[in-house]
Structure 1
Amino acid sequence: MSDTTPLGHVYNVLFLCTGNSARSIMAESILAKDGHGRFRAFSAGSQPRGEVNPLTLTTLRSLDYPTEGLHSKSWGEFAAADAPVMDFVFTVCDGAAGETCPVWPGQPMTAHWGIEDPAAFVGPEIEKEAVFARTFRYLKNRITAFAALPIRSLDTMTLGAKLNEIGRSEGATPLRRDVA
């Protein structure tokens, strides 16, 4: 697994989505702030859009979450030999969950935490902002539950079950695919 600090083991966590412009970026920012030094957060996409959705950045800034350094990137960067070894990989969209993912070095724990794409919403700007805020809330709830897990004291099977349970929390997409 990853590094250690005076706080203990630091886990590397990768959030995947297709475009890497909204959900996975939000998740990276939330865990970076709310992980309290126990996690290093990353995000990537199978077909990255090349830019972060402006409403993603607006939402994060309005809620005092970090945006510096966030950018849309390919998941291939994290499958390379010199990439950080991931401890956890979470898909946050059904598209990425259904795709053939790269082989991740180190055999990380994986789960699917599908949430509707806020960038796909079509409507007035005020409603778009509300959809992004709701997506943020769903992700924050999942990440809060994940960060509270006693990871080191759980066996692999129990931890996997808990990760999948988190993925079924409020806001989960109707079409669930557990990624084992």
Structure 2
Amino acid sequence: MREPYNVLFLCTGNSARSILGEAIMTREGAGRFRGFSAGSRPSGQPHPYAIDLLTRLGHDTAFARSKSWDEFAGPGAPKMDFIFTVCDQAAAEECPYWPGHPMSAHWGLPDPAAATGTEAERRLAFSDTYRMLRNRITAFVNLPTESLDKASLRARLAEIGRDTTPAPTE
């Protein structure tokens, strides 16, 4: 049996989108994929609305901390198989060298931490981001990764990143 694929979600602050991606990947990956997250300029802590949402949806949040992407580029770091940027700013930045040359794609999403309005509207932004990420991650973990050639897999990852269809509400 193959070791789980390691999947890194990158954002600038590593406080919301990438943290959500890590949690969803770990759950949806069901032992076949393992989620990680990091930021180019970590905020220092996960956004409280992200943690609250994950907790309400039954995710274990013990993993959640805001960390630098440098943690995953150095010696002794887990080897990544896939890297997804979830914010446009991080996608435009020069990334560190990733050992093993993982496959990457940009899955840009609006930043729920930047949402304005009432508390309910701001929390809704987190829920929307969660649903979009879950939809993309579910599509990804159901790909026949072992049987797709690299070019086909790369095309499918890009296609998933362009999908803006919201997942069904739980």
Give the TM-score normalised by the residue count of structure 1: 0.90
Contact 1:18/1:47 (<8 A) preserved: yes
Aligned pairs for 1:35-114 (under 5 A) are 35-114=29-108
Secondary structure of the 1:153 match is: coil
- CA gap of 1:171–1:54, structure 2 versus 1, over 3 A, is farther
| AA of the residue aligned to 1:10 | P
Match of 2:6 in 1: 12
SS in 2 for 1:130: helix
Q: 1:120 aligns with which of 114, 134, 139?
A: 114
Query: Counterpart in 2 of 1:153?
Result: 147
Q: TM-score, normalised by structure 2?
A: 0.95
Q: Deviations over 1:40-63 (max 9, x none)?
A: 210000000010000000111111
8 Å CA contact 1:20, 1:48 repeated in 2: yes
Deviations 1:104-154, CA, capped at 9 Å, x for gaps: 000000000000000001110011111110000000000000000010100
Distance in 1, Cα, partners of 2:31 & 2:162: 26
Instruction: Quote the Cα distance in structure 1 between the aligned partners of 2:136 and 2:61.
Output: 20
Alignment partner, residue 158 of structure 2: 164
Q: Which consecutive unaligned segments of at least 5 residues does structure 1 have?
A: 1-5, 173-180
Deviation of residue 171 (structure 1)?
A: 6.5
Do the aligned residues in 2 keep the contact of 1:115 with 1:171 (CA within 8 Å)?
A: no
- Quick check: 1:25–1:70 contact (8 Å CA) kept in 2? yes
The Cα offsets for residues 43-97 of structure 1, whole Å up to 9 and x where unpaired, read as: 0000000100000001111111221121000000000011011100000000000
Partners of 2:56 and 2:33 lie apart in 1 by 23
CA distance in 2, matches of 1:9, 1:76: 23
Aligned residue in 2 for 1:33? 27
Of 62-71 and 110-119, more deviation after overlay is shown by: 62-71
Find the aligned partners of 1:40 and 1:115 in 2 and give their Cα distance.
21
Question: Which 4+ runs in 1 deviate beyond 6 A?
Answer: none
Distance 1:78 1:171 in 2: 31
Q: Distance in 1 between matches of 2:82 and 2:140?
A: 11
Tell me, which stretches of 5 or more residues in structure 2 are unaligned? none
Number of equivalent positions: 166
Identical counterparts, % of pairs? 56
Name the SS for the 2:14 alignment partner. Answer: coil
1:175 is aligned to none
- Matched residue type, 1:90: F
